[in-house]
Every structure is written in C-alpha cells, then in structure tokens.
Structure 1
Amino acid sequence: MTTVGAYEAKTHLPALIERVEAGEEITITRHGTAVARLVPVDAPTAPATDTVVALLAARTGSRLGSEVRRLIEEGRA
C-alpha cells in the first residue's frame, strides 16, 4: 500500500485515482498520521453479516430462521 501526504494527494489526485482504478490502495496522511484511504469501489468485500450467516448455516447444516435474518439485516445481531 502506498502512502502520500495530503498536499501531494491534492496536487496529484487525478493520477492517484487512476492508480486506485487499477487496484492499488493509497493511504493519505497529514503530518505523518493516516487520515484517509483511497480504495477501489469494486474491492471484493463481503458484508460481515453475510459471512456470519454463511458460517452459521454451514456449521448447523440448516438455514437460519426469518427472525434471526431480520435482526441481522437491521444490524442488531
């Protein structure tokens, strides 16, 4: 992962965006402290709830009930 300062990021934003489109992740720092990260939108990340549901279903060999699914979708479980 590449790190650039805030001033450099502002100055070279179009070039940084091209690099991110190509799959690179870039951390932006201010006075040496990370403050932001540029990542591709298409980065393959599964929501945590989907991962938990898949693991529980695989472990029990059954599907979760609709009440549990509703709570997970609301972000309460």
Structure 2
Amino acid sequence: MGRVTYEGLSSVCPFETGDFDDYVNGTPKIVFSRQPREVEWGPGTTSGWSMMSSTKSGGSKDRKAAIW
C-alpha cells in the first residue's frame, strides 16, 4: 500500500475490532514509500517504488497479502 493509505488505515484499524479489522491488523503490510520509514502497525515492512512492479506481477503464490 502507499504511504498515505497506510497512514490513514493505521490511525483507525489498530483500535477497532471485527472480522475486517482483525484480518487487516494481522495481515503483513508492505508500504511503498520514497523515503524509508518505520512500519509500526502490525507485521510489515517498507519498500521503495522499484519493488512495486515485481510485487504486482505475482510474487510468492503461497503468501496472502492485501494490496491497496
């Protein structure tokens, strides 16, 4: 997900409960950003924009990830 989407969701989802929020909070997140930053919400990491094309083209088939 992009940095702006991450910042919006991370300000709400960690404090909510329910099927959707539990799923999103537990799903590993990859935050695409031009500037390195720490991912504090749930399991996650940051990646530069150059990784976006390889992630969208398939990546690992045995992992579940949500891409916004």
Q: TM-score, with normalisation over the residues of structure 1?
A: 0.29
Q: Which fold has the larger relative contact order, with Cα–Cα distance below 8 Å and residues 6 or more apart in sequence?
A: 2
Larger radius of gyration: 1
Which one has the bigger helix percentage?
1
Q: TM-score, with normalisation over the residues of structure 2?
A: 0.32
